[in-house]
Structure 1
Amino acid sequence: MSTNRKVIGIVAAPGYSDRIGTELEETIPELLEYYVDHKTKWTTESDISPLTGMTEKTEEVIAALLKEKEERRWDMAICLTDLPLLHEGKLVIAEANEKKGVGLVSLPGLGATPLIKRVREAFLHLISEMHDGSSDESRKEVGKRWNQMDAPPPALKKKDPMALIQKRGFDRLSPIYRSVTNNEDNNIDVRFQVESRPRGALRMVTGMVRANRPWRIFPSFFRMVAASFGIGSFCLVFPTLWMLSNHYTAPRIAGLAIMAMGLLTAWLIVAHKLWEQPKKAYSAYLSRLYNGTTLLTLMTGVLFYYLLLYVCFQGMVLLMVPLDTVDSEVVGELDPKAYIYMAWITTSVSTILGALGSTLEKEETVLDGTYGYRQKERYEWAKRQEDDEEGEKG
């Protein structure tokens, strides 16, 4: 029989973070009873706050979270932010203050996949740190308790009492280290971060691209696909393209493909004004980081666009371009690989001629997939809130 009740607050930045927070609100109480304390009745509440997604400084995030925790009278609170967090130049994945009962998880720090499972593991671990203690002795006692338990719920396996998340795949390349701070002036008792800056940067960039959800951008390419497909279909009827496909080498065609995708990516950045200039709101380093993430996000979308277009043209070549007709037009012996190269060259040419000059559909979806735009929206929201508060006081 439960003898105690605790309310856990989940505060998330708007967008993908708050959807994860909503899912945690529904699934986490049962897991808390297993991993943390079965005698406690755990309940969760979620909230959305742009304030927790407006700053890259962990102390400011913790301060904003602590204020909301006190206002909502939660027992503990954890913030989910989609911003990269740094401490002394090192990537921070999560932090917690045991005494004040607040913690945070940075989604980019968790890497690319599988995100939901990683967030759930990190959430459970931070609650355990705040409930059971962060000292080495406390963590050893938690480990002993977990080892004596029966099989865990299907959602998770048994955890390491010192590890934020289970080591799998990518985590072996950029391991997460746990450190305990003893500074009374510090708002943090325990911190999880990547010690190596290059490995941390790799984890951070892949995590940021994942947080941008490039697959949401891909449907916006359909108008460009239609334009490019029309131009490429017209080009296929000319023998010049057939002769080029019989004489071009694979490295040369690959270079043409890279140039086409690079030009399209650059055009999209310019056309939709996606390149960020350094601002006072965040450092030049973070501006470069945001731009690099935008570049990789768009490149992922362009790659899917290119592959879709190639599949379409390969089908057209096989169905509509007779082999004997091509053989009669080319000089020399027809290479069987010419059919593959023909679709490949057509894809690159149509990308350059058809897609460049076009713009993406659903521009808001594209902009929302970039960190700079989301930050701009949050700053504007905060400014409106500040103006409203001043208006009420006046």
Structure 2
Amino acid sequence: MERISIALFTAPGIAGRVSANLIDNLPGMLEYYITDEYEWYVDYQEDILTGGTNDSYKVIEAVSDKKDQGDWDYAIALTDLPVFEDEKPVVAEALRDKNVGFISLPGFGFTKMEKRVQEAILQLVNEIYYGTSDSSREEAQEYIDSKDPQKYDALRNKGSRELIGGRLFERFSPLIRERPIEEDAGVAVRYTVKSRMSGMLRIISGMVFANEPWKMFPSFLKILIIAFTTGSYALVFPTLWKLSDEYSVIRLFLLMCAAILALVGWIIMAHQLWEKKDENNNKFIRKMNNASTFFTLLLTVMMYYVLLLILFLATTFMLVPPSGLETQLSRDIAIFDFLIIAWTAASISTLIGGLGSAFEDEQVVLDSTYGYRQRQRHEKIKKQREKEKEKEKAQREEYEGEDEDENN
């Protein structure tokens, strides 16, 4: 049986891990969703350039060259960068004449990526294999309908004109299928977000997911210890008890928001995570990167705050005697009072103990932001190109030396 080979070129990080988890199941799904006349073979390779630019044309050109060099039949690029066409979010594209396509992971939003990426790869290969015209889509749909609908649950509600199957998030922020004009860099089909507003929310939330904020959380251990130690010491004294009794719920909520935002701001400033104006940096992309950095840190700090609140709630029940609390407040107390004290302690300790503290592992925090990752990737690309130039120079000098020997 003749074989069709597909290469997945992925950006380092989450894109590579998603691809590695998919390659075992993809051949069988390609046979089911596209054709069983061939044996399908899928492999993936990490490629720095795939995650080094937001320009889909540059990504596709680079992937097309690598596909030809490796003698692959198809190639799909998976990038963790957002891609835009006139500031409209692009989730995926395919060029049939080159048998290549790309998928932008942030376009899937804050959600589990693997199934969506799997469906998107199948759809792009399907579009390239059959074609993008209406008659080609009907032919592809007929083949899909001829297969056992129970074999792959993930593809049960997916048609030949959909990048991914119908889900709740897609109803809120639907994707649309476009067939651009021929002059548009040879793009045969493009999937974009229908609404610009929901598209921005989808992309930013997807960028936050790609930043993997949960991996940053262990780095907060040192800050957590300092804040908890500070707050636990304050719990011993009645001043905090009286202060929490004076505060209204609205004031406590505002204090919590101020503490969380102050810690986010401190982290951004202390580690220079905010991207500044740069001639080489697109203004729109810079805003998106900064927004994703802010919300990534906001989510992580909120996780930190919840854990700190739980610790203080347990500590309050252990350290604060009910009789002493009644005496200080001059009234009957309830469980709610202990919650208010813990809430106050968590906010104040975050402001006093968290600000100015250092991370347990600064590198993890830096790696969880787009700006820093992009600077690192650009440096690697620069070094890689310098090595290639040095190699070409050495080969040229070697050839020139051989020519001189022959002439002598």
Q: TM-score category by the smaller chain?
A: over 0.9
Superposed, 1:1-394 pairs within 5 Å as 3-154=1-152, 156-158=154-156, 159-184=158-183, 186-334=185-333, 336-394=335-393
Deviation readout 1:160-207 (Å, 9 max, x if unpaired): 110000121221121100011341562210000013221211110011
- Checking the alignment, whether the CA contact within 8 Å between 2:322 and 2:333 is kept in structure 1 is no
Deviation readout 1:337-359 (Å, 9 max, x if unpaired): 22110000000111111111102
Q: CA deviation at 1:154?
A: 4.1
Output the CA distance in 2 between the equivalents of 1:21 and 1:109: 16
- Checking the alignment, whether the CA contact within 8 Å between 1:69 and 1:77 is kept in structure 2 is yes
Residue aligned with 1:281, SS: coil
Q: CA deviation at 1:147?
A: 1.6
Deviation readout 1:30-66 (Å, 9 max, x if unpaired): 1111111112100012111111111111111111111
Residue aligned with 1:220, SS: helix
Output the CA distance in 1 between the equivalents of 2:2 and 2:169: 39
- What is the TM-score with the length of structure 1 in the denominator? 0.96
Larger Rg over CA atoms = 2
- Checking the alignment, whether the CA contact within 8 Å between 2:18 and 2:113 is kept in structure 1 is no
Residue number in structure 1 paired with 2:397: none
Q: CA deviation at 1:151?
A: 2.8
Identity of aligned residues (%): 38
Residue aligned with 1:47, SS: strand
Output the CA distance in 1 between the equivalents of 2:227 and 2:184: 60
Q: CA deviation at 1:218?
A: 0.5
Query: Given the superposition, is the C-alpha separation of residues 40 and 319 from structure 1 closer, same or farther in structure 2, using an over 3 Å criterion?
Result: same
- AA of the residue aligned to 1:161: S
Residue number in structure 1 paired with 2:399: none
Q: Relative to structure 2, which stretch is displaced further, 214-223 or 359-368?
A: 359-368
- What is the TM-score with the length of structure 2 in the denominator? 0.93
Mark the runs of 5 or more structure 2 residues left unpaired by the alignment: 394-408
Deviation readout 1:7-35 (Å, 9 max, x if unpaired): 10000011111111222222211111111
Deviation readout 1:139-158 (Å, 9 max, x if unpaired): 11111221221134346232
Residue number in structure 1 paired with 2:405: none
Please report the RMSD computed on the Cα atoms of aligned residues, expressed in angstroms: 1.4
Output the CA distance in 2 between the equivalents of 1:267 and 1:183: 49
Residue aligned with 2:24, SS: helix
Residue aligned with 1:156, SS: helix
- Checking the alignment, whether the CA contact within 8 Å between 1:6 and 1:40 is kept in structure 2 is yes
Q: CA deviation at 1:281?
A: 3.5
Query: Given the superposition, is the C-alpha separation of residues 347 and 146 from structure 1 closer, same or farther in structure 2, using an over 3 Å criterion?
Result: same
Output the CA distance in 2 between the equivalents of 1:152 and 1:146: 12
- Checking the alignment, whether the CA contact within 8 Å between 1:176 and 1:193 is kept in structure 2 is yes
Report the number of matched residues: 392
- Checking the alignment, whether the CA contact within 8 Å between 2:97 and 2:186 is kept in structure 1 is no
Residue aligned with 2:77, SS: strand
Q: CA deviation at 1:233?
A: 0.6
Output the CA distance in 1 between the equivalents of 2:342 and 2:32: 56
Output the CA distance in 2 between the equivalents of 1:143 and 1:89: 32
- Checking the alignment, whether the CA contact within 8 Å between 1:21 and 1:46 is kept in structure 2 is yes
Deviation readout 1:75-112 (Å, 9 max, x if unpaired): 00000000100112210000001121000000001111
- Checking the alignment, whether the CA contact within 8 Å between 2:119 and 2:155 is kept in structure 1 is no
Q: CA deviation at 1:307?
A: 0.4
Output the CA distance in 2 between the equivalents of 1:160 and 1:279: 44
Mark the runs of 5 or more structure 1 residues left unpaired by the alignment: none
- Checking the alignment, whether the CA contact within 8 Å between 1:221 and 1:305 is kept in structure 2 is yes
- Checking the alignment, whether the CA contact within 8 Å between 1:34 and 1:152 is kept in structure 2 is no
Q: CA deviation at 1:333?
A: 5.0
Output the CA distance in 2 between the equivalents of 1:244 and 1:219: 31
Residue aligned with 2:163, SS: coil
- AA of the residue aligned to 2:144: W
